[in-house]
Structure 1
């Protein structure tokens, strides 16, 4: 039996180079089947009134990281799109960079579940600041990305 061919890590870069992800400055650090690490540098337009990363920005970063983790494990020509996402904010995201580390927990038919840990980093430390779970549905990749 021939092993299934999964999406290339380059697909994540292609998708990340468009729209909101690109405008926000999401940077892909690593992609391998079922795993993704995506980072975001602190900017004044990404923080809330206390100067910490805004919760909506954190959530969007997690959505992107989970989608990449799921998509990276799917057969070539398929993409994971969000069905549901739940996030818990554990501590202020007050570092100079925010990192989302996503891992596919389970793929069953067309539904995958991923978990994401968010780390806030500065020169001295890396601290857990949020955690989320995301449910993704596998769909056919739009023709422009095939």
Structure 2
């Protein structure tokens, strides 16, 4: 990763705090403009039919998009959500979710990312949701600089 960009340790630190840490989001891969987050199945993350809850899927997509954009920003900047749209394509009934996010475009302080969310069961992956997110680059809070 370029010395001028945010290091992977920043993503780990941000992901460990608050809801993301409590939900169990894990950073599976990170490079400039790309992030993969995983989430293991737990009963408290499911809806009444036994599939991952749509809100959990959306939160994972949001976090992955933010990390993809943040990873391509200069040190000291972070991508925060301005707008997010998600399409649910299949029930997410696997043992794990995997969100793969990439930055499509950064223009000034605004970036757009896409996220594909897969339901994994063993070696099989099923595309269960697709997301587009618009992010704004802001200064990081002092504790992360």
TM-score range, shorter-chain basis?
over 0.9
Report what 1:15 is aligned to.
Answer: 14
Deviations 1:13-45 (A, max 9, x none): 000110000000000001100000000000000
Dislocated runs of 4+, deviation >4 Å: none
Report what 1:26 is aligned to.
Answer: 25
Following the alignment from structure 1 to structure 2, what is the Cα–Cα distance between the partners of residues 103 and 93? Answer: 21
Deviations 1:55-77 (A, max 9, x none): 00000000000000000000000
Deviations 1:122-146 (A, max 9, x none): 1151110000000000000000000
Report what 2:88 is aligned to.
Answer: 89
Whether 1:143 and 2:142 are equivalent positions in the alignment is yes
Following the alignment from structure 2 to structure 1, what is the Cα–Cα distance between the partners of residues 33 and 86? Answer: 20
* Superposition map of 1:38-57 within 5 A: 38-57=37-56
> Secondary structure at 2:11's aligned position in 1?
helix
Count of matched residue positions in the alignment of Structure 1 and Structure 2? 144
The TM-score normalised by the length of structure 2 is: 0.97
Report what 1:129 is aligned to.
Answer: 128
The TM-score normalised by the length of structure 1 is: 0.97
Unaligned runs of at least 5 residues, structure 2? none
